[in-house]
Amino acid sequence: MDVAVRASAAASAAPAPSRTIATRRPRVGVVKLASCDGCQLTILDVEDHLLEIAERFDIVEFAEATSRRSSGPFDVLLVEGSISTPEQAVEIARLRAEARLLVVIGACATAGGIQALRTAAEHEAFRTAVYPVPAYVDSLATARPVADFVHVDAELRGCPIAPEQLIELLTSLSTGRRPQLPDQAVCLECKRRRIPCVVVARGLPCLGPVTRTGCGAICPAFGRGCYGCFGPREGANTAGLAQAFVTGAAASDGERGRDPVDVGRLFAGFTGATAPFRSVTDALGGRPTLPLRATLASPPETLREGPPTWGDRSAIDAPGTPGRTDPGPATSNEETHGPRR
């Protein structure tokens, strides 16, 4: 059931408000999972509409903006970020039960984001390369979009989301109509804005023909190819576009085809884990990988087994420890174990 149907059903079920009684504002929550907070910041950046949003909606949970907190229930819940840890998998199920309408926002929540490009086989290698103590990090083998775990009522794509689409969604929710979100190619947006095609004019590879519009074609406007931030549009012929890049059919005059590995890398971006994009990358030899090595960071707690213990410096003060400087005999308990808490 889509957003418009749910909103209409809720509106018809509610009693008609009296002129002397104020209509209850919908309770709205904004939460994040594994993400960079960019989509939440986009919500705060719609400055001209913030007061109107606050008048129409009761924002009860939005840690990025207010100390007011709520665990539910929510009439509308905006969720940013992918599911990357066991705790998040449990939390999203709880949030789904508390939300009448659950809307995922951004490439991480809708497609898994950059972190979803990591495969299960690379899980341990990434943990060892990023974290000094990998054993302290409890993460899932793969990062996945919210829809893989719970039912999603609507989605706003992008990295980050488009402010205009956010306003359109909130307006449709408040009026009980279907959101008017485009599913056209970025190429059409370039035509509307009279932006020269970067493939024809500059010979650059561009994912505009297979990517849903929403960003305003910002990358082609600055002479760069589309990176596919808003993900594949419905029915996108990604295999055909990739073949055109490889054979040179999409190149400008005098240009030859591109290396298949480079073409595969084009599709392995912000929404590279989506099926239409990942199928191209896999068909062209898989996502290019980089050799990973363990992090060089060596905090004191890595020099001993088990979690760190406050005040115990035996592991780093032992004679012969590399980099140790002997401070001389301690004159007080505080000098040996640190200040008393």
The CATH-assigned architecture of domain 3-175 is 3-Layer(aba) Sandwich (3.40)
C-beta separation of 272 from 265 below 8 A:
no
Stated as kind and residue range, the H or E segment containing 27 is: strand 27-32
- Torsional class of 306: left (φ above 0), alpha (ψ -120 to 50), beta (otherwise): left
Give per-residue burial for 319-339: e unless 16+ CB within 10 Å, then b.
eeeeeeeeeeeeeeeeeeeee
Q: What is the reported pLDDT for 118?
A: 83
Higher pLDDT, 32 or 309: 32
Q: What is the reported pLDDT for 278?
A: 93
- pLDDT tier for residue 289 given thresholds of 50, 70 and 90: low
- Asked if the model's pLDDT at residue 292 lies above 60, the reply is yes
Helix axes 163-175, 47-56, angle to 10 degrees: 20
How many other β-carbons are positioned within 10 Å of the β-carbon of residue 243? Answer: 18
C-beta separation of 227 from 157 below 8 A:
no
Mean per-residue pLDDT of the chain: 82
Report the predicted TM-score, pTM, of the whole model to 2 decimal places.
0.77
Could you tell me which of 290, 288, 226 has the C-alpha nearest to residue 261? 288
Q: What is the reported pLDDT for 128?
A: 85
Could you tell me which of 112, 119, 115, 84 has the C-alpha nearest to residue 287? 119
Alpha carbons 105 and 81: distance in angstroms, whole number: 8
pLDDT in tens, 144-179: 999 999 999 999 999 999 999 999 999 999 888 999
- pLDDT tier for residue 18 given thresholds of 50, 70 and 90: very low
pLDDT in tens, 100-156: 999 999 999 999 999 998 887 788 888 888 888 888 888 999 999 999 999 999 999
Q: What is the reported pLDDT for 48?
A: 85
Within the chain, all domains assigned CATH 3.40.50.700 are found at: 3-175
Q: What is the reported pLDDT for 98?
A: 97
Cα-based distances in Å from 134 to 108, 131, 138, 294, 295 = 23, 5, 8, 10, 10
